[in-house]
Amino acid sequence: MKLLTHNMLTSKCMKGVSVGYPLGINASDVRVSEVDFNPDFIARMIPKLDWAVLYNAAESIGQLEDLPKDLANNYENDQEFLKKVHHVLLEVDIINGELVCPETGRKFPINNGIPNMLLNEDEV
Amino acid sequence: MNSAAKTKKLERKLKKLQHTVLRETGMSCDLTPTKNIVICNAGLVNGLSEEAIYKHFSQHGILENILLLPGKSCSFVSYTKLQSACNAFETFNGKLNIAQDNKPVYLLYTSSLPVVETSKTWKNLPPGLLILEDFVTDEEETELLKLCDFEKDSNGMKNRQVKHYGYEFRYDTNNVDKDKPLNEAIPDACNFLWNRLSNTYGLDFHPDQLTVNHYSAGQGIPHHVDTHSAFEDPIVSLSLQSSVVMEFKLDNQHLCVLLPRKSLAVISGESRYDWTHGITPRKFDVVYTNNNFTALERATRTSFTFRKILQGECRCSYKSKCDSYSKQVNASIENDAASRLEKLHVHEVYENIASHFSDTRHKPWPNVLEFVQSFDTGSILVDIGCGNGKYLGQNTSSFSVGCDQSTGLINVCKDRGFEVFTGNCLSVPLRDDIADGVISIAVIHHLANEDRRLQAIKEMVRVLRVGGQALVYVWAKDQCKNEEKSSYIKQDRRNRKCKDITSRDGAVDNEVSVLQGVSLPVHTNRTQFKHNDVLVPWKLKGRSESDNVFLRFYHVFQENELPGMCRELSNVEVVKSYYDQGNWCVILRKV
């Protein structure tokens, strides 16, 4: 699971959960692999992200490197910055671990890079 | 070209066509005169009509038969006299320009006509249909026509003008508002009809709804079954001002019935519940009477159709056409049952067939591909019900993420390097307003009731940003649209040649009890669907017969059902609604 996916996932569909975001991450196996860099893609993706959530997620799994806490001004033209975002968004993969609902503590296992977000009948 | 060369050319042409006719119909034909002429190069496939044949060939004598075969490019004409056939042959061969693109027809003789089951016939009436000729007198006809003046009140429809008494028949819902009677009841002047029906024919019928249809010459009415739950049995229709040919269809049977002027048609039982009826729009009908064909020019026609409103639901035994039956099946699949049904007959089946299923799902559908590839760099695309991920790698400048209920299929996606998670389309674990595009291809037809199908659409819309678009595909009940068979039907070789796929539809669907109190019909693969809620068998190769068949639940959609559901939502607009290879499809935009 990439952190870009994590940035979108929520447990809000569970009974009794109102926001369900962001999900906590317990990672037991994190892999980093190289992905082609497309600065235009990253620049257009940034406004769609919850930046704070991305920052905290990267920090929580020790993959922050030197990503700034705040968005750079004029980031569209800042290749170095975009590269760092690219790395965090797409090159970091959580292979095994779990996601945790911030409101109920319900855990969603991640196996082989796949979060299992299925809910039991009594949870919806 | 000199005339010798012309003759030579004609001979070569005929030689070739002789083989075509033999191959297409099994009939041998040649230049030995008989009463039967084969039109070798024109038939239903290339647009030849009964009327066109009649118009020209009747000039040479009395026609005994006109035979047009579904899916064929040749046709047959028989005369009562040999001499007539010879005259027509000499006059028309290579000269009469009524073949495709106004090309000339080429003719040969044949000793007899092919015996076919699927063509239109005049021999019988559908069971339950009664035609009572001269039911009213000229004077009574005049009086009845005065009741309803169409010059003044014209609530015009595309095909014809309509006026309702007693209750309004609503063409949008195909039903009547049973608790909203109209101010105008059936005029008392019609009462003599029921007395006559009772006194002369022993039929007790007391209608409370009347629809008067006013057809100009050339207008028709599309094939339909009168909604079961709206009206009792029978339906009674009086033809005034002009005769017309009404056609009745059931599976591969196609019967033509002349409704003479001033006759009363009593449509009951099988003909009312199981057969569709309609009137082809055209200026004149070719009518078969007394063993020959004649033309009947249509004039303005008014029909008075009398019906009795059904209180409660229909309990007929013709389930495949019964809206009450569909509704009852749907109601029996309440939410708890629906989720158990989906678990047993969707989720567990996909786990069992995942790898075989994935092996058979390689080729992306072009229109879906086009949609996926229409998104800009940096877009977020979500594939809800992504299966083996065949659309996930198709737009490399966007971020695509897939979601599926099946662990087996999601593993296939992951092995192919795609970003995915396991999840259910009824509660998509994504933030609101995040996606630029959503696709859901062949997914929500697996949901067992309408509330759940609508909930799935709501979820797609919820995750879309305002301005974002979703593409939804569902399986269509109708697998044969505009004479075009879907690829699903064509995968059975036997279906490719015959035009009318219902001709293979002999099989009766068995019912299987899926849950306590819920039974569903099992669909016969590669045939037209007969029901909306069905079990479709998936056969795994290489296993014993008993444990290799899995039944998947499907709700197959009617035309307009999908866009109709989408329009219930206030925050979307339907950008496009179309039919694609046996599927109904919509593109939605969040507003």
Tell me, yes or no, whether A59 lies in a domain.
yes
Q: Biggest alpha carbon distance in chain B?
A: 82
| For residue B7, pLDDT beyond 80 | yes
Among candidates B339, B419, B429 on the partner chain, residue whose Cβ is nearest the Cβ of A2: B419
- In A, minimum Cα distance to B401 occurs at A5
Question: What pLDDT shows up at residue A12?
Answer: 93
| Separation of alpha carbons A48 and B430, rounded Å | 13
**A95 with A31: CB under 8 angstroms?**
yes
Task: Provide, as residue numbers in chain B, all residues whose Cβ is less than 8 Å from the Cβ of A8.
Answer: 380, 401, 430-431, 434
Residue-wise pLDDT for B376-422, tens only, equals 999 999 999 999 999 999 999 999 999 999 999 999 999 999 999 99
- Mean pLDDT, chain B, whole residue set: 88
Residue indicated by tokens 């050319």: B9
Mean pLDDT on B38-44 = 91
Tell me, yes or no, whether A25 lies in a domain.
yes
Among candidates A1, A41, A118 on the partner chain, residue whose Cβ is nearest the Cβ of B397: A41
Minimum distance, in Å, between the CA of residue B445 and any CA atom of chain A:
20
- Mean pLDDT, chain A, whole residue set: 94
- In this predicted model, which residue has the larger pLDDT, B115 or B436? B436
The pLDDT-based confidence of B155 (bands split at 50, 70, 90) is low
**Residue of A4, A8, A103 to mutate, interface with B, max B Cβ within 10 Å:** A8
The CA radius of gyration of chain B, in Å to the nearest whole number, is: 28
Asked if B421 and A1 come within 8 Å (Cβ–Cβ), the reply is yes
Asked if B431 and A11 come within 8 Å (Cβ–Cβ), the reply is no
Question: What pLDDT shows up at residue B505?
Answer: 44
Mean pLDDT on B129-146 = 95
Asked if A1 and B397 come within 8 Å (Cβ–Cβ), the reply is no
Tell me, yes or no, whether A121 lies in a domain.
no
Tell me, yes or no, whether A119 lies in a domain.
no
Question: What pLDDT shows up at residue B122?
Answer: 81
Q: Determine if the peptide bond prior to B207 is cis (ω within 30°).
A: no
Q: For the packed helices B82-92 and B50-57, what is the interaxial angle rounded to 10 degrees?
A: 100
| Separation of alpha carbons B567 and B138, rounded Å | 50
Long-range contacts of B137-145 (CB under 8 A, 24+ apart): B137/B262, B138/B262, B140/B192, B141/B240, B141/B241, B141/B261, B141/B262, B143/B189, B144/B189, B144/B190, B144/B238, B144/B240, B144/B304, B145/B240, B145/B241, B145/B302
| Separation of alpha carbons B547 and B349, rounded Å | 12
Task: Provide, as residue numbers in chain A, all residues whose Cβ is less than 8 Å from the Cβ of B378.
Answer: 40-45, 48
- In this predicted model, which residue has the larger pLDDT, A2 or B112? A2
Tell me, yes or no, whether A18 lies in a domain.
yes
Residue type, B36: N
| For residue B501, pLDDT beyond 50 | no
Among candidates A4, A21, A116 on the partner chain, residue whose Cβ is nearest the Cβ of B399: A4
Minimum distance, in Å, between the CA of residue B537 and any CA atom of chain A:
26
| For residue B193, pLDDT beyond 70 | yes
Minimum distance, in Å, between the CA of residue B431 and any CA atom of chain A:
6
| For residue B502, pLDDT beyond 50 | no
Q: Which residue in B115, B125, B70, B124 sits closest to B502, CA to CA?
A: B70
List the domains of chain B with CATH numbers.
3-110 (3.30.70.330), 129-325 (2.60.120.1520), 336-590 (3.40.50.150)
Question: What pLDDT shows up at residue B263?
Answer: 97
The pLDDT-based confidence of B445 (bands split at 50, 70, 90) is very high
Question: What pLDDT shows up at residue B512?
Answer: 80
Angle at B535 between CA B532 and CA B539, to 5 degrees: 140
| For residue B219, pLDDT beyond 60 | yes
- In B, minimum Cα distance to A45 occurs at B378
Q: Which residue in B346, B588, B551 sits closest to B464, CA to CA?
A: B588
Mean pLDDT on B426-447 = 96
Determine phi and psi for B567, rounding to 5 degrees: -70, -15
Mean pLDDT on B260-287 = 92
Residue-wise pLDDT for B552-591, tens only, equals 999 999 989 999 999 989 999 999 999 998 999 999 999 9
**Residue of B335, B411, B412, B419 to mutate, interface with A, max A Cβ within 10 Å:** B419
Task: Provide, as residue numbers in chain A, all residues whose Cβ is less than 8 Å from the Cβ of B429.
Answer: 9-13, 117
**B284 with B296: CB under 8 angstroms?**
yes
Task: Provide, as residue numbers in chain B, all residues whose Cβ is less than 8 Å from the Cβ of A12.
Answer: 429, 431
| Separation of alpha carbons B543 and B209, rounded Å | 58
Could you tell me the CATH number of the domain that includes residue A95?
2.20.25.10
Tell me, yes or no, whether A20 lies in a domain.
yes
Q: Determine if the peptide bond prior to A102 is cis (ω within 30°).
A: no
| CB-based burial label for A42 (10 Å; 0-12, 13-18, 19+) | buried
Among candidates B339, B414, B427 on the partner chain, residue whose Cβ is nearest the Cβ of A112: B414
| Separation of alpha carbons B144 and B147, rounded Å | 5
**Residue of B388, B399, B412, B464 to mutate, interface with A, max A Cβ within 10 Å:** B399
Residue A20 lies in domain: 3-112
For B300: left if phi > 0, alpha if psi spans -120 to 50, otherwise beta; the answer is: beta
Query: Interface of chain B against chain A, CB under 8 Å?
Result: 339, 376-380, 397, 399, 401, 403, 405, 407, 410-411, 414, 419-424, 426-431, 434
Is A32 an 8 Å CB contact of chain B? no
Tell me, yes or no, whether A117 lies in a domain.
no
Question: What pLDDT shows up at residue B406?
Answer: 95
Asked if A5 and B401 come within 8 Å (Cβ–Cβ), the reply is yes
**Residue of B428, B430, B436, B452 to mutate, interface with A, max A Cβ within 10 Å:** B430
Minimum distance, in Å, between the CA of residue A8 and any CA atom of chain B:
5
Residue-wise pLDDT for B275-285, tens only, equals 999 998 888 78
| Separation of alpha carbons B474 and B114, rounded Å | 40
Residue-wise pLDDT for A56-94, tens only, equals 999 999 999 889 998 878 899 999 999 999 999 999 999
**B171 with B230: CB under 8 angstroms?**
no
% of chain B at pLDDT higher than 70: 92
Task: Provide, as residue numbers in chain A, all residues whose Cβ is less than 8 Å from the Cβ of B433.
Answer: none
The pLDDT-based confidence of B194 (bands split at 50, 70, 90) is very high
| For residue B493, pLDDT beyond 90 | no
Question: What pLDDT shows up at residue B1?
Answer: 59
| For residue B499, pLDDT beyond 60 | no
| Separation of alpha carbons B384 and B438, rounded Å | 7
Is A107 an 8 Å CB contact of chain B? no
What are B295's two structure tokens? 């033309």
Tell me, yes or no, whether A124 lies in a domain.
no
Q: Strands (DSSP E) along B192-309, which ranges?
A: 209-215, 221-224, 235-240, 244-250, 253-259, 264-267, 276-279, 284-289, 292-297, 301-307
Minimum distance, in Å, between the CA of residue B463 and any CA atom of chain A:
10
Is A61 an 8 Å CB contact of chain B? no
| Separation of alpha carbons B275 and B502, rounded Å | 13
List % helix, strand, coil for chain B (3-state, nearest 5): 30, 30, 40
How far are the Cα atoms of A63, B239, B260, B323, B558 from residue B131, in angstroms, in the given order? Answer: 84, 11, 9, 27, 33
Mean pLDDT on B313-331 = 86
Is A56 an 8 Å CB contact of chain B? no
Question: What pLDDT shows up at residue B458?
Answer: 96
Mean pLDDT on B23-43 = 91
Number of folded domains in chain A? 1
- In B, minimum Cα distance to A9 occurs at B430
% of chain B at pLDDT higher than 90: 57
Q: Which of A82-86, B351-355, B429-433, B471-475 has the lowest mean pLDDT?
A: B351-355
**B246 with B275: CB under 8 angstroms?**
no
| For residue B97, pLDDT beyond 80 | yes
Q: Strands (DSSP E) along B20-152, which ranges?
A: 29-30, 36-39, 63-68, 75-79, 107-110, 129-132
